[in-house]
């Protein structure tokens, strides 16, 4: 494995992700090669490397992993670990999970559909559509016009809104997205729109409210009508203030420090994520996310002219770091020939990713029940999966 490839994958995963278990490890996997011969420059998924990547779960890093690798040269499906640490039964391969920030790709797709229909102008400022977000003349003077496009590509200049100081203690409480946005705007701009790119939830929280404004419908209903139902994504939905994951799912655990200095795994499966809204409240499955990823990159979700927005990096102000995100998707260059576009996401107990080459020659979807899903570094199991799936093929 070439070091630059490992470095690129690790850096990408870290950007998207803002005591060992003793239950027995259970793993199984299968692959399928197509009958036709695929282009010579690609190769079938490396089943051996992928099996090794998820072997030995549960461990200190994760309790379960579900993986799907696809493309014209074949597919690979794998699972490892346990449904829960109490019973130790095998992880459910159809388990639903908290999708975290992979939700943003659905939000971007809905916004780009509205742009294609002429309902949303990406060059028009947010202030045009929702002037009430800037309720005072003082706040209006603070902010330059914020184009809708800058919400999509993380260049809006909006700062993060305040949340709960102790999230775990408030995991059953509801924090409305409108309050998160009001908090962010009250802080004033961080920079002029388009000058810098900073990955944050706030732009997509605003996008969700904007979708509701221009459609007169709820964001959740629009996502369902435009994407979930047409693609038959039966496991995918927005729970709102419901802290549960409906349907089959593997339990999520978080390693937490105790008052005596020790750490223990805490079950964090139930959690009200409504404040994440259009930036991270979705629940899905690896099967649904694979269908969505393949349809998106195949041009079946967003019309091709608008789909280009996802693969277009904005030009920023001189002297600042170059952009790595288009409209939602992050660009990752593995070598001189291969570029992967991806989105990671994590909520406590769950760490996920969708990824694809632009032409769909290799796709990856995984969900890892990470014990450090919101940690500053990437999860080791997630890193191994990404390396095995994306560094060849």
Least confident of 29-43, 246-260, 277-291: 29-43
Q: Which of 181, 92, 177, 149 is nearest to 308 (CA)?
A: 149
pLDDT greater than 60 at residue 16: no
Question: For residue 330, is pLDDT > 60?
Answer: yes
Q: What is the pLDDT of residues 279-288, one digit of tens each?
A: 999 999 999 9
pLDDT given for residue 26 in this prediction: 36
* Mean pLDDT value across the chain: 89
pTM for the full predicted model = 0.91
Q: Tens digits of per-residue pLDDT, 166-181?
A: 899 999 999 999 999 9
Average pLDDT over residues 23-34: 43
Backbone angles phi, psi at 290, to 5 degrees: -70, -45
Is it the case that residue 249 has pLDDT exceeding 70? yes
266-271: list long-range contacts, CB under 8 Å, 24+ apart: 266/168, 267/84, 267/349, 268/168, 268/171, 268/348, 268/349, 269/245, 269/349, 270/171, 270/172, 270/243, 270/244, 270/245, 271/98, 271/171, 271/172, 271/243, 271/347, 271/348, 271/349
Query: Which one-letter DSSP state was computed for residue 171?
Result: T
* Beta-ladder partners of 332: 340
Q: Do the Cβ atoms of 343 and 353 come closer than 8 Å?
A: yes
Phi, psi (degrees; rounded to nearest 5) at 56: 85, 15
Residue 28 reports pLDDT greater than 60: no
pLDDT of residue 294: 97
253 has which bridge partners? 267
Beta-bridge partners for 366: 67, 353
The pLDDT value recorded for residue 162 is 86
300-319: average pLDDT = 97
């Amino acid at each position: 494995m070439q070091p630059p490839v490992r470095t690129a994958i690790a850096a990408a995963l870290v950007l998207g992700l803002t005591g060992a278990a003793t239950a027995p490890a259970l793993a199984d996997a299968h692959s399928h090669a197509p009958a036709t011969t695929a282009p010579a420059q690609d190769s079938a998924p490396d089943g051996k490397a992928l099996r090794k990547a998820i072997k030995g779960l549960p461990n200190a890093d994760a309790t379960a992993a579900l993986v799907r690798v696809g493309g014209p040269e074949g597919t690979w499906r794998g699972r490892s670990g346990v449904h829960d640490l109490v019973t130790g039964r095998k992880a459910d391969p159809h388990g639903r999970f908290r999708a975290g920030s992979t939700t943003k790709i659905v939000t971007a797709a809905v916004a780009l559909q509205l742009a294609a229909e002429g309902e949303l102008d990406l060059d028009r400022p947010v202030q045009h559509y929702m002037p009430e977000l800037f309720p005072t003349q003082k706040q209006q003077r603070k902010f330059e016009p914020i184009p809708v496009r800058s919400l999509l590509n993380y260049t809006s200049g909006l700062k993060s809104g305040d949340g709960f100081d102790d999230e775990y203690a408030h995991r059953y409480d509801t924090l409305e997205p409108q309050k998160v946005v009001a908090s962010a705007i009250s802080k004033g701009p961080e920079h002029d729109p388009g000058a810098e790119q900073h990955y944050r939830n706030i732009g997509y929280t605003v996008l969700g409210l904007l979708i509701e404004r221009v459609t007169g419908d709820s964001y959740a209903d629009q996502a369902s009508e435009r994407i979930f139902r047409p693609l038959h994504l039966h496991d995918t939905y927005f729970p709102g203030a419901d802290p549960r994951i409906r349907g089959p799912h593997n339990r999520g655990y978080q390693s937490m420090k105790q008052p005596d200095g020790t750490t223990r795994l805490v079950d964090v499966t139930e959690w009200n994520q409504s404040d994440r809204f259009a930036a991270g409240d979705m629940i899905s499955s690896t099967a649904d996310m694979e269908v969505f990823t393949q349809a998106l990159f195949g041009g079946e979700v967003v019309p091709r002219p608008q789909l280009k927005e996802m693969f277009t990096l904005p030009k920023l102000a001189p002297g600042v770091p170059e952009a790595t995100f288009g409209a939602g998707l992050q660009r990752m260059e593995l070598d001189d020939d291969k570029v992967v576009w991806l989105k990671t996401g994590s909520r406590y107990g769950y760490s996920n990713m969708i990824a694809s080459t632009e032409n769909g020659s290799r796709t990856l979807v995984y969900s890892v029940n990470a014990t450090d899903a919101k940690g500053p570094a990437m999860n080791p199991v997630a890193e191994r999966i990404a390396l095995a799936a994306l560094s060849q093929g």
